[in-house]
Chain A
C-alpha cells in the first residue's frame, strides 16, 4: 500500500492515472491477500470515476479534487494497516460508500 501511495502522490490526476491505479491495485490484491478487500474497493472507486469521465472533458478542478480524495483514502488505508479490526472495517465501509466526484 505504501508503494501505491508513493506512486499516487506523483500523479497529476488525468484519467490515465486512474486506469494505472486500477492495474496497480489489482497487482496489490494478488500479492497481498490480507489487503484484498481494501484493494478491491479502491480499484472499484477509481474505476467508477474513470468510467464516468471516459471520453469526456475532465475539468482540472474536478481532477484535483478527485485525486485528493483518492490519495486521502490510500493514506488512511496505509495508516490503519495495523489498526484494530473495527477501525479497518469502518474504513472499508467508508470507501465502499464513497465516490471521487
Chain B
C-alpha cells in the first residue's frame, strides 16, 4: 500500500470542503428560528458534519484533505495516536488513523467505570503524542473534557483536528491556547459563506443575515436570547 499525501494549498482545500458541505446540505441557515449551542450562544447557522459519513466518495476526498492538512501542519512522524471524541469524532478518527497508519482510541464524554482510563477506549501508551479528532469546533469548550481525559490517561495532547471550525466566537482562540492545544481544520464559516455567495446557494437576504451573525456573533446572540460572553448568566 502506497501512502502519499501531496501538499495541497490550504485555501483550495477550504473552498473545496465548503463546496462539499453545501452539496450534501450539511449547512443549515435558520434565520427565522434560531437555536442555542451547548454553551449558550444563540445562532442562525448550524452545520451537521455527521451527514458526511453517508457519502463515501465525498468523505474519502475529505479524509485525503484531512491527512494532507495534518502532515502539512503537524508533520509526517510527529503523532503516535489518533483519538476520536465521542460521538461524532469517532468515525473521522477511524478514517484518519487508517490514512496515517496510526493506532486509534476514542474518548467518552463521561467515564465508564473507574480508574485513569475510564474515559478512554483502546490502548493508551503513556507519553504518546495524540491527535484529538472531532467533527467540528464551535467555541472550543467541548475539547476541554476530551483533552483532560486523554491527559489523565497519560497521553500527550497538543493538537486537535476538526473538519469544520466556526472561527467566529470571541475568546475561542484564547481558550485553545489556555488548553495548550493547536487547532487544525479544513474549512470555516467564512469559506462556506464565500462559496455560498458565488454558487447562489441560499437567497441574498438569508446570506445577509448570516453575514451579520458571522461578523458580530456576540451581539447577534445577545439580541436573540443567548449569551454574549463565555459563562454569562441572565442579568439579575
User: Which residues of chain A have a CB within 8 Å of any CB of chain B?
Assistant: 9-17, 54-55, 57-61, 63-64
Alpha-carbon gap, A16 to B226, bound state (A)? 12
Residues B236 and A10 in contact, CB atoms below 8 Å apart: yes
Which residue on chain A has the smallest CB distance to residue B39?
Answer: A16
Of all chain A residues, the one with the shortest Cβ separation from B46 is A57
Query: Which of chain B's residues 1-44 have a Cβ closer than 8 Å to chain A?
Result: 28, 30, 33-42
- Complex alpha-carbon distance, A9 and B236, angstroms: 9
Residue contact B233 to A12, C-beta cutoff 8 Å: yes
Q: How large is the interface on B (under 10, 10 to 19, 20 to 34, 35 or more residues)?
A: 20 to 34
Closest partner residue, chain B, to A58 (CB atom): B36
Judge whether A60 and B39 touch: CB under 8 Å.
Answer: no
The one of A12, A17, A55 that contacts B87, using a Cβ cutoff of 8 Å = A55
Given the interface pairs A10-B233, A10-B236, the reply to whether A57 lies near B35 with Cβ below 8 Å is yes
Contact B226 A59 (CB under 8 A): no
Query: What is the CB-to-nearest-CB distance from B231 to chain A, in angstroms, rounded to a whole number?
Result: 9
- B36 and A10 contacting across the interface, CB-CB below 8 Å: no
Cβ-defined contact, A63 with B233, below 8 A? no
Task: Return the chain A residue nearest B87 by Cβ.
Answer: A55
CB within 8 A of B40: which of A9, A12, A59?
A12
In the complex the two chains form, what is the Cα distance from A79 to B155 in whole Å? 49
